[in-house]
Amino acid sequence: MKLKQLMLAPVALGMIAPAAATAADLNLAAVNQYSTGEQVSSVTQLSDVRPTDWAYQALSNLVEKYGCVAGYPNGTFGGGKAMTRYEAAAILNACLDRVTESTDELKKLLAEFDTELTVITARVDGLENKVGRLQSQQFSTTTKLSGEVSMILGGVPDYTAAGVKGYGNTTFNYDLRLNLDTSFTGQDLLRTRLRTGNFSKYPFGTSTNNIFKLDKAEDWNNAVYIDRLYYNFPVGKNGATKLTVGALVRNTEMAWIPSAYKSNVLDFFQLGGASGTYNKATGEGVGLQWKQPVAKGKPGFIFNANYVVNGSAVNSANTTCTAGCKNGASGSDSTYGVFNSDSGINIMTQLGYKAPQWGIAAGYRYGTAQSGVRDGNGVAGSALGLNQTSDSIALNAYWQPVKSGAIPSVSVGYGYNFVNGNSTSPGATRQKQAQSSKSWMVGLQWDDAFVRSNAAGIAFGQPANAEGASGSNPWLAEFFYKVQVSDNISVTPAVFYASGSSNSTTNAANQPSFTGLGGVIQTTFKF
């Protein structure tokens, strides 16, 4: 303010005085008249000043903003007349008086807020130092690191297999995921994910079936693997279409499972009851997603299509793959081609409609040898053998209330799997794969249950079960309550119950039974 006022004073003098008079032309009477003239509050009070004058705006600022220009007693300004040095001094003195007043007020304000200004200055200096340190030591300008650690204590009762018990255990396991997310344009994503853990493929020692598979459980054996490696980017001008290409990508991450039920406990209930279509095939792949361009919060259609090769467990020579094979858990390798039908090809398409409170979708997956149903027991849960293919369909829908409360969200899903052809793979186990299976689920979830940010839910359904096989049809249920301790920590106690036995085409007696109650306490840390 002070600087602006000091600059305006000489500028104004130059504008209102076309020609400066000498000391010899001094008219003390005129100076006295001017210096003692009444200060005007508006430039309109000066009768000889018009808006069309070239210096009108400058004069208006001096009169109305700074109050340091007065007119002559006759109500004129005399802007076209020559001005003596004394007249100039009178105008400059009036402006300096205003500047002095403002300066004194500013000094008082500075003194009053001296403590606060010192604190702010110190914080700014500290922030600048931190920013400088971050710029010099940062990992990358384009990459962000995020992670998730889950520790799960749980167990199930003993199971019987041919009259022998000993398949149930209480275990304490962990799962660790580290995401390196890179963006080059702000709209694309290069994801590299490292993962490890100490789970077994079959949790709790249930080695005869996979019905109790946990969502967090993979067979890593404490080794660190690259779990995801793909690139996602928009295609076109409006961003409605996105393309995903990756050497390790999952088909369900390139699709949409219409479900509001999110327990993250049992694997089956995270797949919308259609574990044949949404089988989590992971490997080399490419995917296309199109979303109808609509305003945010408006309903629209979604279309997905993807191609994933999830690896092979049996080679073309009809011999079982041993060393180096993960049964598709880590995707295929260079031993098998991405277009080899024996390598576990998964082709998925999906059409859905999503609104703010509800969504619905129909999905289809075609699978070749070594692709299969994600979970189940006995026949339905095994991978397809050579010369076999499968067709899987899924119908899913959900509804959720506008506000959380006593009314839960409702999620339903149904899946059916058609298996075609007889396996030429070695062993009777694969010969019995030429059967179809079905599955379904219903899930209810309450958000903000009892406490804000906590959630509760209950789900029940039938995992994929081979039709026409011996053994009882399995059904599964779970209940969970998620306690959100903080933004980064959650604790989820859950109980689950299964009833049934492993099915088989051999009609063997004493099929392994897995009826019983189990539970977990799952603690998750996100950063």
Residue 386 CB neighbours (<10 A): 22
**Residue reference for tokens 């041993």:** 322
The rounded distance, in Å, linking the Cα atoms of 220 and 225 is 8
Strands 143-155 and 516-526, sheet pairing: antiparallel
Predicted local confidence at residue 304, as pLDDT: 97
Residue 184 CA to its chain's centroid (Å): 17
What is the C-alpha to C-alpha distance for residues 219 and 321, in angstroms, rounded to an integer?
Answer: 17
Q: Phi/psi of residue 210, each to 5°? A: -120, 20
Tokens 């007119």 belong to 71
Please state the pTM of the whole predicted model: 0.68
Decide: helix, strand or coil at residue 115: helix
Candidates 464, 265, 508, 307; CA nearest to 372 is: 464
Query: Strand, coil or helix: what is 208?
Result: coil
Instruction: Give the pair of three-digit tokens for residue 172.
Output: 């304490």
Which pLDDT value is given to residue 317?
A: 40
Tokens standing for 132? Answer: 């400088």
Return the number of other C-beta atoms located less than 10 Å from residue 287's C-beta.
23
Q: For the chain, what is the total number of helices (H) and then of strands (E)?
A: 6, 18
**181: CB partners within 8 A, 6+ apart:** 143, 144, 145, 146, 189, 190, 191
Q: What is the DSSP letter of 338?
A: T
Nearest to 346 by CA among 414, 393, 274, 277: 277
Question: What's the rounded Cα separation, in Å, for the pair 269 and 444?
Answer: 11
Measured between alpha carbons, how far is residue 496 from residues 127, 441, 517 in Å? Answer: 51, 14, 6
pLDDT of res. 502:
53
Measured between alpha carbons, how far is 70 from 81 in angstroms, rounded to an integer? 15
Among 299, 214, 259, CA closest to 445: 259
**What count of other Cβ atoms lies within 10 Å of the Cβ of residue 98?**
16
- 328 neighbors 313 (Cβ within 8 angstroms): yes
List of residues 6+ apart from 224 with CB closer than 8 A: 194, 195, 196
Amino acid at 157: P
> Across the strands, what pairs with 45?
none
Query: At 358, which helix (H) or strand (E)?
Result: strand 358-367
What backbone phi and psi angles, to 5 degrees, belong to 270?
A: -90, 0
Token pair of 103 as six digits: 């300066």
- Report the amino acid identity of residue 192: T
Domains of the chain: 2-114 (no CATH), 161-526 (2.40.160)
Q: What is the pLDDT of residue 386?
A: 60
**DSSP code string of 2-69:** HHHHHHHHHHHHHHH-SSBPPGGG--HHHHHHHHTSPBPSSGGGSTT--TTSTTHHHHHIIIIIS---
153, 199 in Cβ contact below 8 A?
A: no
3-state SS, residue 348: strand
A 10 A CB-CB count for 75 gives 13
What DSSP line would sit under 469-485, residue for residue? -BSPPPEEEEEEEEEE-
Backbone φ and ψ of 397, nearest 5° = -155, 160
State the Cα–Cα distance between residues 70 and 206, nearest whole angstrom. Answer: 98
Q: What's the CA gap between 309 and 256, in Å, rounded?
A: 19
What gap in Å lies between CA 415 and CA 277, rounded to an integer?
7
Helix (H, G, I), strand (E, B), or coil: what is residue 433?
Answer: coil
Please state, as a whole number, how many other Cβ atoms lie within 10 Å of the Cβ of residue 342. Answer: 21
pLDDT (0 to 100) of residue 116 = 78
Residue 124 CB partners (closer than 8 Å, separation 6+): none
Q: Please give the Cα distance from 128 to 406 (Å, whole number).
A: 50
Instruction: Calculate the alpha carbon distances from 53 to 9, 49, 107, 141, 313 in Å.
Output: 19, 7, 38, 56, 92
Residue 321 CB contacts under 8 Å (≥ 6 apart), including other chains = 312, 313, 314, 315
The residues near 469 (Cβ < 8 Å, ≥ 6 apart) are 378, 379, 435, 503, 504, 505
Interatomic CA distance for residues 402 and 141, integer angstroms: 39
Instruction: Walk along the chain (527 residues) and give the pLDDT tens digit of each residue.
Output: 444 444 444 444 444 444 344 434 444 554 455 444 556 777 777 888 888 787 778 778 777 777 777 777 777 877 777 777 777 777 777 776 666 666 677 777 777 777 877 888 888 888 888 877 776 666 677 889 999 999 999 887 665 544 445 556 788 999 999 999 999 988 999 999 999 999 876 667 655 556 778 888 887 788 898 999 999 999 988 889 999 999 999 999 999 999 999 999 998 899 999 988 998 988 899 999 999 999 888 999 999 999 999 864 443 343 444 433 433 334 445 566 788 777 788 999 999 999 999 999 999 999 887 777 775 443 344 456 566 788 999 999 999 999 888 999 999 999 998 887 765 544 444 444 446 788 899 999 999 999 999 999 999 998 887 766 555 577 899 999 999 999 999 999 999 988 876 544 333 444 556 677 889 999 999 99
pLDDT of residue 132: 77
C-alpha pair distances (Å), 521 with each of 93, 149, 496: 81, 14, 12
